[in-house]
Amino acid sequence: MTAADATQTDALARLAAAALHLWEVPEGAGARLINLSENATYLVEAAGGYRSVLRIHRTGYHGHRAIECELAWMAALHEQGGVATPLPLAGRDGALIQTFGTAELPPRHLVMFEWLAGAEPDPDQNLVEPFRQLGGLAARTHLHVIGWKRPDGFQRLVWDDEAVFGAAPNWGDWRDGPGVDDAVRAVLEPAEALLRRRLAAYGRGKGRYGLIHADMRLANLLIEDGHTRLIDFDDCGFGWFMYDFAAGISFMEEHPQVPALRAAWLGGYRAVRPLDPEDEDEMDSFIMLRRMALLAWIGSHDATDLARAQAPHFAAGTVRLATRYLARFS
């Protein structure tokens, strides 16, 4: 971590501590950083076993209305969709979204969530059963979306090929990712072109495309007593339903248990909602789309520990995936 990164992290910690008075938290509560990615996430603890989770949004990613829409979908899933989402906690003023700044940092949006018990799964543990459950969770979110009337003025990001490869990609240009040189571009540019052709042919029918979680990776799962729960809807937006599987294997696309996880996820999904053969056939396209989005993410988020850990080898792994993708579909 650079000195500038450390300064920013310390400033965020002070903002978190200073903002706690906005909610009815016990006196003496403290906030401890548990994740720094798009946002800064803190575990809020106090004597007597009190726990909650504070999310401090980074500037320039989601506006107030977009966060309202995220929370609206989470509430609808919890109440109508059969998906137990973490509930936001209203502040003292009754608002779910607070805005707060300090002398060091300009105002940011903040949301406090209830604490959910459970542990993040490890990629080296047997994940077949969690992924079977995750497939069912994904299917329930998709079923809900197909029949849900969104609130007026609904705003969320889009996670299609234009959002990864277009003129203003959400996470930046994959060509700016670490380790991307001429040899890497020589493989990934044809893969991008093939991917875009295939996704155009696949289409955006109502049963294939809609509002999705978009980040069902291991870091956003909690396992407790054999039950898998889904958290962190911060990246939810519009994309292809099968992208949710691709997001589920983020940063572990080449892990030897991925074929078993894919089969388990599909089994769990089909137990809730049917799939067309074309949906399964195109899963490799969504894995490739997500992988190239992550290559861009690593390049634009080099202040995070995760990006630093992935940077030395991620481009080479992406080339291996792209080579297999081109061989299969070219």
The contacts of residue 314 (CB under 8 Å, 6+ apart) are: 177, 178, 179, 294, 295, 298
* Cβ proximity of 298 and 310 under 8 Å: yes
Phi, psi torsion values for 257, nearest 5 degrees:
-90, 0
Which one-letter DSSP state was computed for residue 240? E
State pLDDT tens for residues 155-178: 999 999 999 999 999 999 999 999
Q: What residues does each domain of the chain span?
A: 3-114, 128-329
Strands (E), 28-165: 30-36, 40-46, 50-56, 88-89, 98-100, 108-114, 157-158
* Cβ proximity of 292 and 188 under 8 Å: yes
Count Cα neighbours of 235 within 13 Å in the Cβ-side half-sphere: 22
For the record, the structure tokens of 275 come out as 């799939």
* Cβ proximity of 317 and 253 under 8 Å: yes
Task: Bin 140: left if φ > 0, else alpha if -120 < ψ < 50, else beta.
Answer: alpha
Phi, psi torsion values for 63, nearest 5 degrees:
-80, 175
Q: What is the pLDDT of residue 263?
A: 98
Strands (E), the chain: 30-36, 40-46, 50-56, 88-89, 98-100, 108-114, 157-158, 209-212, 221-224, 227-230, 237-240
- For residues 285 and 149, give the distance between their C-alpha atoms in angstroms, rounded to a whole number: 29
Evaluate whether 3-114 and 128-329 have a shared fold.
no
End-to-end CA separation in angstroms for the chain: 42
CATH code, residues 128-329: 3.90.1200.10
- For residues 325 and 330, give the distance between their C-alpha atoms in angstroms, rounded to a whole number: 8
State pLDDT tens for residues 230-273: 999 999 999 999 999 999 999 999 999 999 999 999 999 999 99
* Cβ proximity of 136 and 49 under 8 Å: no
| CATH class, range 3-114 | alpha beta
pLDDT under 70 in the chain at which residues?
1, 3-4
Among 134, 282, 259, residue whose Cα is nearest residue 208: 282
pTM above 0.85, yes or no: yes
* Cβ proximity of 91 and 143 under 8 Å: no
